[in-house]
Amino acid sequence: MNFLENIFHRLHQTPERIALQEIRDGQFVSATSAALLSQVRAARSYLRQAGLKKGDRCGLLAPNSIRWAAVDLALMAEGIIVVPLYSRQAPNELVNMLKDCGAAAVFCADAALRDGIAQHWPDGPSLVLFDEVFTTAPAADLTDEPNALADDDVTTIIYTSGTSGEPKGVMLTIKGVTFMLGATGARLDQLMEGSTDNTPDQVFHYLPFCFAGSWILLLTALSRNSLLSLSTDLNKLADELKLAAPNYCLNVPTLLERIRTGVESQIAQKPGFIQTIYRKGKDAWLRQHEGRGKAGFWFDLANWLIFAAIKTKIGADLKALICGSAPLAKETQLFFLLLGIRVLQVYGLTETTAICTMDDPRDFTPGRVGPAIPGIEMKLGEEDEILVRGPNIFAGYWNRPEATQKTMLGDWFRTGDQGATDEKGNWAITGRLKNLLILKSGHNVAPEPIEEKLAFNLPTAQQVVVLGNDRSFLTALITGDLNREQVQQAVDAVNANVPHYKRVLAFHISKEPLTIESGLLTANGKLKRDAIAQQFAQEIEALYQT
C-alpha cells in the first residue's frame, strides 16, 4: 500500500474523526474525514470534467487550508503532478515556474492570486478558483480510492528556493514519499510513546505546505491518528499556538530564536533579584548538562519561579518542537531544553524528499541534527560534502538532465552541504560548499558558523551576512535597528575566539531588513547571497577601501 492509498483508507475507515482544522478568529473550523473525502470527490470530479489526465502538471497556489489539502489529494489521486506554489511569492517568479513545468492549469485560492498570474501570463493555462472546484457535483461512479500509481510515478514537482541561480523543479516520487512517511511516523511513535491509541496527536502547523518538509508533515498527519490544526494568521501565532495546545509542531529556527530573545528581553526588564535567579538557575543547569556538577538549589528555585511558567506559556502539552530548514543555534536548543522542552532537529533537502536525518527523541545531542534515517546512507565526499543515497532521493530536476547529472555521483546525491559526524553517528552541518568564502590568503571560510555567532550576540539583528570571497579579509552586512557600538561589541566577542582569517574586520549596518519581496530572501527565508552582494555592492566595496 503506497502513502496515498493509506491516507484514503484511513479517511474512509474513520469518517467521524476530525482530520484537519483551521484556526480562524480564535475559533476552530473543522473537517471530519468524511467531509475531507467529500471535498476530494468534488475536486476529482472537476478534474475529470476539465479533461485533465495523468501526468499533467497543475499549479496549486494558495495559503494553507483544508481546501489546499483536498485539492492536493485530488490531484495526486488522479495521477496529476502537483506543482505547489508559495502564495507570497512574486507573480512573475511563479509564472516562470509554471511555464517551466508546462502547467495545464493553476488552482488558486482567491481572485487576487489568480489575477496576479493572469497579469503576467495573459495567454497562460486555465486559472481556476477553489470556489469553482468545490461547487462541482461529485460524479456518481467516483470511489474513495486513488487511481493505481506506480512506485516510480512522479507525484509532485517542488521548485527549489533558488539561493543561487534559477529555481529548479524537483521531481518526487510515490516510492520516495511512501518511504519518508514511514520514517517520520516511526519517529513520532517514539516521541509519543505512552500515549493511548484512542488519543490523536495534537499537531500545530504554520509553515506553508508548498515547502517539502511542511508538505511531508501534512501527509504524515493524515497517515496516522493526528489532529492537525492550521494557523491562518501569523500575527496571531502565539494565541493560536495556545489554543491548539499541541504535542508537537514543525518550526524554522527564526521563530525559536525570536521566542528565546523575547523571553530573555522580558527577564532583563524584571527586578534585579529575578534576573539573578534566572541567570544562576540557567548556569546551574548548564553545569549539570555539561557534566560539571549538579543543578541544585539555584536551578530548583529558578524552575519553580520562572522556567516552569515560561514552559506553560509556550505550551504546557508540548512534547517537542521540531526544527528544520536552516541551522539552529545550539544556545537556542539548550535554552528550550532548560525549560523542559525538547527541540528535535531534522536535516534534508527537497531533493531528499525533505529529510535525511532526524533526532531520536530519546537520545539526541544539542547542536547536531541526528542520525541518518534507517534505510538511508550518508557519507562524506570531497571537501567534506555530505553525500546521500536511498529510496528518498528525487527522480531528477524537471526537464534538466544536465543539472540532475551534475548533482549525482553514481547513485549518491551531492547535497552541497558540508558536515561531520560524532561517535554516535549524529550529523552536524558545518557549512555550504556554494557559500564557501575563499580568501586571497587561500583560507576557506564557511560563513554560516560566524553568522550564527554574530546573530547570537546581536539578538535584535534581523539578518547577518558574512562576506569576503576573493578578498583579503571578512566583512559583514547586518540588518536591523542597531548602532555601531552594539555591533562592534558583538564582532569583538566573536573575533576573540577564532583564528585571524575568520575575524570580521569591518561591517555595514542596514536599518531595513532583507525580505522576500525585495528579492534578497528565498521563499522560505534563506539568504540569496548573490543578489545581496549585488544590491549592496557599493557599500561592500566601501568596507574594503577603509
Helical H segments across 290-391, by residue range: 296-302, 308-315, 330-339
Residue 385, classed as helix, strand or coil, is strand
**Measured between alpha carbons, how far is 474 from 468 in angstroms, rounded to an integer?**
5
Task: Residue 232: count other Cβ atoms within 10 Å of its Cβ.
Answer: 15
Q: What local confidence, expressed as pLDDT, does residue 196 receive?
A: 61
How many structural domains is the chain composed of? 3
Q: What local confidence, expressed as pLDDT, does residue 54 receive?
A: 97
**Measured between alpha carbons, how far is 135 from 140 in angstroms, rounded to an integer?**
15
Are 399 and 447 part of one and the same domain? Answer: no
Domain hosting 115: range is 3-247
Are 237 and 382 part of one and the same domain? Answer: no
Are 242 and 294 part of one and the same domain? Answer: no
Q: Residue 523 maps to which CATH number?
A: 3.30.300.30
Among residues 201, 228, 247, which one ends one of the domains? 247
Are 143 and 124 part of one and the same domain? Answer: yes
Are 306 and 218 part of one and the same domain? Answer: no
Are 243 and 264 part of one and the same domain? Answer: no
* SS3 per residue for 392-412: CCCCCECCCHHHHHHCEECCE
Are 106 and 203 part of one and the same domain? Answer: yes
Are 401 and 279 part of one and the same domain? Answer: yes
Among residues 399, 433, 467, which one ends one of the domains? 433
Q: Are strands 18-24 and 226-231 parallel, antiparallel or unpaired?
A: parallel
Q: What local confidence, expressed as pLDDT, does residue 274 receive?
A: 94
Are 444 and 408 part of one and the same domain? Answer: no
Q: What local confidence, expressed as pLDDT, does residue 526 receive?
A: 83
Q: What local confidence, expressed as pLDDT, does residue 164 receive?
A: 52
Mean pLDDT, consecutive 10-residue stretches, the chain (546 aa), reads: 97 95 95 97 96 97 98 98 93 93 98 96 97 89 90 96 74 98 96 80 95 97 96 91 95 88 91 94 93 89 94 93 88 94 96 97 94 97 95 97 95 95 94 84 84 89 91 93 93 90 93 88 82 92 87
Among residues 415, 433, 451, which one ends one of the domains? 433
Are 228 and 301 part of one and the same domain? Answer: no
Q: Residue 71 maps to which CATH number?
A: 3.40.50.12780
Q: What local confidence, expressed as pLDDT, does residue 398 receive?
A: 97
Phi and psi angles of residue 545, each rounded to the nearest 5 degrees, phi first: -100, -10
Q: What local confidence, expressed as pLDDT, does residue 197 receive?
A: 64
Are 379 and 268 part of one and the same domain? Answer: yes
C-alpha cell at 237: 501565532
Q: What local confidence, expressed as pLDDT, does residue 161 receive?
A: 67
C-alpha cell at 355: 529529510
Task: Residue 546: count other Cβ atoms within 10 Å of its Cβ.
Answer: 7
Are 308 and 412 part of one and the same domain? Answer: yes
**CA dihedral angle for residue 215, residue 217, residue 218, residue 222, rounded to 10 degrees:** 140
